[in-house]
Amino acid sequence: MSGGPAKVLRRSIGIVFADGGLLTLSGTASADGDRHGDEPLLAVLCDPDAAPVAFEEALLSTEYGEDGVQRRATLELWLDPEGGRPLRGAGTLISSIAAEADGIETRIAFFRWALEGREGLGHYEIARTRG
């Protein structure tokens, strides 16, 4: 790849809650999207005894350490962006690993998560072009 800045290609989160629920969030950058956070995000919550729920809008904010690893993240998940209130959650880093193949660098961070009082464990993966 060129010596330019790295471009985020994909961000994804997967969480398993202590009560058996699951949350997934995924976003892929468009070909012309240049900035981190510009990609549309899809989030789905699966409760143990209920049908999956897809959110109308998902917001993900990330704090990075000096080493570029995602350290903290916050989520806002909106069933209806025009009304109501979002589900809010946050995660903090447990450990991370980086892998590189075919000019793509992937950082997988393992997080401890909480969403509206529900505790869980999961990952937060970011794939970038090499800068």
In the chain, the number of structural domains is: 1
pLDDT band at 82 (very low <50, low <70, confident <90, very high): confident
Among 118, 125, 126, which Cα is nearest to 45's? Answer: 118
The verdict on residue 105 lying in a domain is yes
* pLDDT tens digits, one per residue of 26-79: 999 866 655 555 678 999 999 999 899 999 999 999 999 999 899 999 999 999
State yes or no: pLDDT of 5 exceeds 80: no
Looking up residue 69, the CATH number of its domain turns out to be 2.40.370.10
Residue range of the domain that includes 90:
8-129
Phi (first) and psi of residue 103, to 5 degrees? 80, 10
The verdict on residue 103 lying in a domain is yes
The verdict on residue 65 lying in a domain is yes
User: What DSSP element (H or E) covers 72?
Assistant: strand 70-78
pLDDT score, position 1: 39
The verdict on residue 2 lying in a domain is no
pLDDT score, position 130: 75
State yes or no: pLDDT of 97 exceeds 60: yes
